[in-house]
Structure 1
Amino acid sequence: MSRNTQLLVKKLSQTMFVTACAVGFTMATNAAPVAISTAITAKSGPVFLGDSTDYPFSEAVRAGNTLYLSGQIGLKEGRLVKGGIKPETKQTLDNINATLLKYGYQKSDIVKCMAMLTDMDDFDDFNDVYRAEMAKPYPTRSAFGVSELAAGASVEIECMAVK
């Protein structure tokens, strides 16, 4: 092969290599946003769950894998259980569990709870029942003292669960 032919082959090889790299880079650059865009648009919006009631809220809302529960109180068969903070806390947690199960979750999926108590002197009794009903590792939790709750309840608990 002559020297001119060797130089020509070398130049063509370099040009083809640079062109192939440029095409590959352009394809990769243009392909990445399409994959990201598809993933983002594939997400669905929140799903509002629960029977329609006389009150303006949903029983639960599922957004992705997270289930947000409305606050629960110690109602059983439409009436607040009697006996104070311990039976109310137990019934409240039973109601939360029933709601979780209804939508395919369980207590171990709970990641956050917010408790509202009308008397912070009941905090230790509340914790006794909460500890007995919930398993380790416990979800994160906040507790607030409030002046009044619906239906004269002593405790209301709101939770979030993730699968």
Structure 2
Amino acid sequence: MAKRIIYSDKAPMPIGPYSQAVLVNDTLYVSGQIALEIAGKGDISAETHAILQNIGHILKAAGLNYSHVVKSSIFLKDMNDFGKVNEAYGTYFSENPPARETVQVARLPKDVNVEISVVAVK
């Protein structure tokens, strides 16, 4: 198994003992991303865009882009934000969007409002 740690200095550093992403053969596993720098300011759309931009930086560091994403997971603090998150998310995945689940959770790291992880394939 060929395993390589992927890191982008344009995305936030991990806040724990994990990697931003791991590339195994042709599959990239991107850890859950949060928008710590703007979380809690009441703008779920801005948080979502910041997260997806960070994911874009990580994808680019692996030589990939949004079109390579095959699966995403969205974790929301409040399911009432689903529409706004979905609208922002859709601007990054307008054609042939990846498989996805969106769930409400009791709490997220650093008390952010949304966290997103993705899996991409070359």
TM-score by length of 1: 0.66
Check 1:106–1:148 CA distance in 2 against 1; reply closer, same or farther (3 A cut): same
State the shift of 1:104 in Å: 0.8
Unaligned runs of 5+ in 1: 1-43
Amino acid at match of 2:64: Y
Report the equivalent of 1:68: 29
State the shift of 1:46 in Å: 2.0
Check 1:54–1:113 CA distance in 2 against 1; reply closer, same or farther (3 A cut): closer
State the shift of 1:54 in Å: 5.5
Q: Which has the higher contact order (CA 8 A, sep 6+)?
A: 2
Structure-2 separation of matches of 1:98 and 1:142? 22
Structure-2 separation of matches of 1:135 and 1:102? 22
Check 1:65–1:83 CA distance in 2 against 1; reply closer, same or farther (3 A cut): same
Partner SS for 1:94? helix
> Of residues 90, 106, 127 in structure 1, which corresponds to 2:49?
90
1:143 aligns with 2:102: yes
CA contact (8 A) 1:118 1:148 kept: yes
Structure-2 separation of matches of 1:122 and 1:80? 16
Structure-2 separation of matches of 1:122 and 1:53? 25
TM alignment of 1:67-146, pairs within 5 A: 67-75=28-36, 79-81=37-39, 82-146=41-105
Structure-2 separation of matches of 1:162 and 1:131? 19
CA contact (8 A) 2:66 2:93 kept: yes
State the shift of 1:59 in Å: 1.0
State the shift of 1:49 in Å: 3.0
TM-score by length of 2: 0.87
* Pairs aligned (count): 117
Identity of aligned residues (%): 36
Q: Which of the pair is proportionally richer in helix?
A: 1
State the shift of 1:134 in Å: 1.7
State the shift of 1:53 in Å: 5.2
Partner SS for 1:61? strand
Q: Which of the pair is proportionally richer in strand?
A: 2
Unaligned runs of 5+ in 2: none
Structure-2 separation of matches of 1:99 and 1:120? 27
